[in-house]
């Protein structure tokens, strides 16, 4: 009997010990967020631990310097302190890798659209700026920094951005001379990784590509006042997929594509696109006709497939405007890009939109038969558009930005 009791005691001590060990190993480690101010130009590599930081001024990451932000970090600007933004110069690298549950958020204190310059990245990937110059072409930025961009380095690597959200950017100081977007990519190359990015409630474009070869996967442009996605200078990213635009309040195009008037022999490829315009959304500039899901101008082109377009209706107030799925603005773009087979729109599903085609110049009639060969245009009722998973990375102030997909 004593041996039996002793055995029970030994077993009890073993199981008690296991329970204690389990409790110790399962206790969550609470990570205290760091804090600090980010100002001035970086001069050496820097890693910012998970935390809450203040960004002050037009902060630059120069050639040879890598700046890293850990997942879950929040970086806040204050418009009252002046012009603020994060600029990655050619040769510099930004490593901002968040997760679906712990995104990296760049925001502004007042939560007012157009309060800061957003994230600007420069590279030396190819652009087009002239129809006659065969040498690597360059141009000058429109962000007020007046920096030269362009080159021949198609594989330029400006870093990795994953699960990053930019809020309330798109500061416009002087139209076409000093204006910013949520994300601005100046001749950024294919070595750069852009995945699961959100541009939220900006005052200009959500994403703008100024030439280059970089591609973007899982991009969300929500509530931006100009275009959701915009490019010029002959941008030619080939691996783009899952783009979602939700336009509400004030907005122009879902996609605006142009190539500086150069009849080029290349084009971007984008699959799985959803472009939606909320009821009552009006154009930013009432003097312009800007109610189209996709507009091509100045020799802009592209190969697009699995597209959902919804809500691009005619506007009756405060002024009358035609709404449509696809507009070609000028005759050169029609002749060289549509008839030339360089614009491809396949498996398009259109709903709640008053016009399928709009002919911007009035000197041609854009229609399904305009596409040559005809396989460059097709519709499908089963097109699904963008496929994205909700989570904190695409949630702002408790609102799921993907709820209208």
**For the chain, what is the domain count?**
1
- pLDDT bucket at 30, cuts 50 / 70 / 90: confident
- How many CB atoms are located within 10 Å of the residue 318 CB? 9
Distance CA 95, CA 98 (A): 10
Distance CA 229, CA 307 (A): 14
Instruction: Supply 148's token pair.
Output: 């030269």
Among 214, 217, 205, 123, CA closest to 164: 217
Is residue 243 one of the residues assigned to a domain? yes
* pLDDT at 340 exceeding the cut of 90: yes
- The string of pLDDT tens digits covering residues 227-244 is 999 999 999 999 999 999
Is residue 172 one of the residues assigned to a domain? yes
Is residue 96 one of the residues assigned to a domain? yes
Is residue 12 one of the residues assigned to a domain? no
Is residue 283 one of the residues assigned to a domain? yes
Instruction: Supply 85's token pair.
Output: 């933004």
Question: pTM here?
Answer: 0.92
- The string of pLDDT tens digits covering residues 263-294 is 999 999 999 999 999 999 988 875 666 689 99
Torsion angle, alpha carbons of 401, 222, 53, 88, to 10: 130
Q: Which domain holds residue 162?
A: 47-396
Confidence (pLDDT) at 25 = 54
Distance CA 341, CA 335 (A): 10
Is residue 235 one of the residues assigned to a domain? yes
Q: Is the dihedral of CA 322, 326, 329, 334 positive or negative?
A: negative
Is residue 27 one of the residues assigned to a domain? no
**Are 73 and 362 within 8 A, CB to CB?**
no
**Are 215 and 191 within 8 A, CB to CB?**
no
- The string of pLDDT tens digits covering residues 354-398 is 999 999 877 899 999 999 887 999 999 999 999 999 999 999 999
Residue with tokens 């030439």: 211
Is residue 18 one of the residues assigned to a domain? no
């Amino acid at each position: 009997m004593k041996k039996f009791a002793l055995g029970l005691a030994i077993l009890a001590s073993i199981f008690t010990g296991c329970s204690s060990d389990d409790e110790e190993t399962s206790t969550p480690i609470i990570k205290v967020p760091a804090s600090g101010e980010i100002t001035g130009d970086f001069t050496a590599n820097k890693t910012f631990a998970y935390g809450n930081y203040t960004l002050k001024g037009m902060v630059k990451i120069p050639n040879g310097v890598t700046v890293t932000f850990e997942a879950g970090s929040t970086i806040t600007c204050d418009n009252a302190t002046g012009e603020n933004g994060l600029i990655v110069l050619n040769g510099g690298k930004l490593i901002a890798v968040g997760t679906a549950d712990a995104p990296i958020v760049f925001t502004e204190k007042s939560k007012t659209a157009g309060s800061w310059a957003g994230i600007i990245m420069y590279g030396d990937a190819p652009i087009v700026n002239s129809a006659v110059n065969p040498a690597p072409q360059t141009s000058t930025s429109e962000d007020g920094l007046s920096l030269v961009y362009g080159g021949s380095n198609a594989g330029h690597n400006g870093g990795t951005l994953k699960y990053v959200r930019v809020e309330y950017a798109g500061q416009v100081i002087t139209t076409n001379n000093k204006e910013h977007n949520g994300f601005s990519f100046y001749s950024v190359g294919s070595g750069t990784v852009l995945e699961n990015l959100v541009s939220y409630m900006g005052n200009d474009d959500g994403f703008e590509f100024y030439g280059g070869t970089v591609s973007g996967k899982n991009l969300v442009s929500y509530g931006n006042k100009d275009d959701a996605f915009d490019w010029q200078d002959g941008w030619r990213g080939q691996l783009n997929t899952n783009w979602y635009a939700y336009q509400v309040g004030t907005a122009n195009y879902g996609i605006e594509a142009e190539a500086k008037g150069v009849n080029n022999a290349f084009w971007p490829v984008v699959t799985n696109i959803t472009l939606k315009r909320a009821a009552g959304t009006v154009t930013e500039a009432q003097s312009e006709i800007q109610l189209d899901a996709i507009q091509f101008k100045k020799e802009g082109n592209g190969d697009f497939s699995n597209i959902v377009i919804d809500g691009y209706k005619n506007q009756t107030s405060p002024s009358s405007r035609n709404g449509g799925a696809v507009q070609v603005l000028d005759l050169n773009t029609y002749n060289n890009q549509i008839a030339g087979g360089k614009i491809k729109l396949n498996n398009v599903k259109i709903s709640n939109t008053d016009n399928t085609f709009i002919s911007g110049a009035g000197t041609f009639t854009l229609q399904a038969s305009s596409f040559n060969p005809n396989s460059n245009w097709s519709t499908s009722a089963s097109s699904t558009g963008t496929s994205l998973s909700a989570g904190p990375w695409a949630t702002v102030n408790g609102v799921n930005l993907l709820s209208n997909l």
